Amino acid sequence: MAAGFPNLVPALMGLLLFLCVGPWAEGGKVLVVPMDGSHWLSMKEALQELHARGHQIVVVSPDVNLHIKREDFFTLMTYAISYTQDEFNDLLLAQASLAFEEVHFLKMFFKSIEILKTASFIFQTSCKELMYNKDLIGHLNASSFDVVLTDPVYPCGAILAKYLSLPAVFFLRSIPCDLDSESTQCPNPSSYIPRLLTMNSDHMTFLQRVKNMLYPLSLKYICHIIFTPYASLASELLQRDVSVVEVFSSASVWLFRGDFVMDYPRPVMPNMVFIGGINCANRKPLSQVCIGAYDVPSGTHFFPP
């Protein structure tokens, strides 16, 4: 007996370690509220990896969408909305064709605003129909999810997480009007952080710094169109005044699909994580036709000597 006792100690230690670690290694239940389009194509790669690691994934989407279709690595739950697939497709075609029109800047700006208003109305309507779908919300509430994964460009997922009292993880490339910095209380000095669409670098002249401070003011109107209705919806659901910043500030982790190779360095908070490279996960090789277009005979110069 005395000789066998030392061999029992490692076994007991191993059992204790298993009991301590085992519950934390179990897969969780992830509720996903995605943004359609290219946003979804990047998120889908992450969901596939989560499934491979043993997590159970449920994706909630309107039944009218562009890319969100059933896959074997997640459960898709859809809900009815009040617009048709043709109306949705017409909106997308209008946005795409606008990029190829050669018109005056002001005309393009106002036309873009009108398209943006229409698109925002459709997504806002979709969110409202989700949040007031009592059967679906009741089912989600009873399903005991561990976390909500969503893109804050479509704030509906953040509102749903707050309404269900679930932790939220944001999966995004960027968000306009510096709402990420404001929601996380992250320093965001205009003196050296280039603003969206300014084309400034992190080495700016005095006039460029002035532009860097004034340019975001024009985006405030766009953000007002996009985000204000979601604040009203959140206030209705939670029965108190709620701002978009408050909704976003409840996020546990911000996963940015970028890195400082593509973007200029800036201050970040501990819950801001950069996952650059995931946008290229679904890349495909160029066809021979495309490659042939760039074949250049040896000795040919692109620039004059």
Q: What's the pLDDT tens digit per position in 34-92?
A: 998 888 988 998 999 999 999 999 999 999 888 899 999 999 999 999 888 888 777 77
Q: What is the mean pLDDT of residues 79-108?
A: 75
Q: Which domains are present in the chain?
A: 27-280 (3.40.50.2000)
* Average of per-residue pLDDT across 219-226: 83
pLDDT category of residue 112 using cuts at 50, 70 and 90: confident
Average pLDDT over residues 240-266: 90
For range 193-214, the mean pLDDT: 84
Percentage of the chain lying above the pLDDT 70 cut: 78
102 band by pLDDT with thresholds 50, 70 and 90:
confident
Residue identified by tokens 């009741």 is: 138
Q: Label the pairing between strands 168-172 and 29-33.
A: unpaired
The predicted model scores a pTM of: 0.80
Q: Where is pLDDT greater, at 294 or 138? A: 138
Q: Calculate the alpha carbon distances from 39 to 84, 167, 169, 272 in Å.
A: 21, 21, 15, 18
Average pLDDT score over residue span 233-246: 95
Per-residue pLDDT band at 214 (split at 50, 70, 90): confident
* Average pLDDT of the residues in 225-249: 94
pLDDT-based confidence at 233, cuts 50/70/90? very high
Least confident stretch, 26-30, 104-108, 151-155, 225-229: 104-108
| Mean of pLDDT values over 20-31 | 68
Q: What is the mean pLDDT of the segment spanning 101-121?
A: 74
Contacts 24+ apart (CB under 8 A), 269-275: 269/184, 269/185, 269/186, 271/184, 272/180, 272/184, 272/186
**Cα of 23 vs its chain's centroid, Å:** 29
Confidence of residue 297 (pLDDT cuts 50, 70, 90): very low
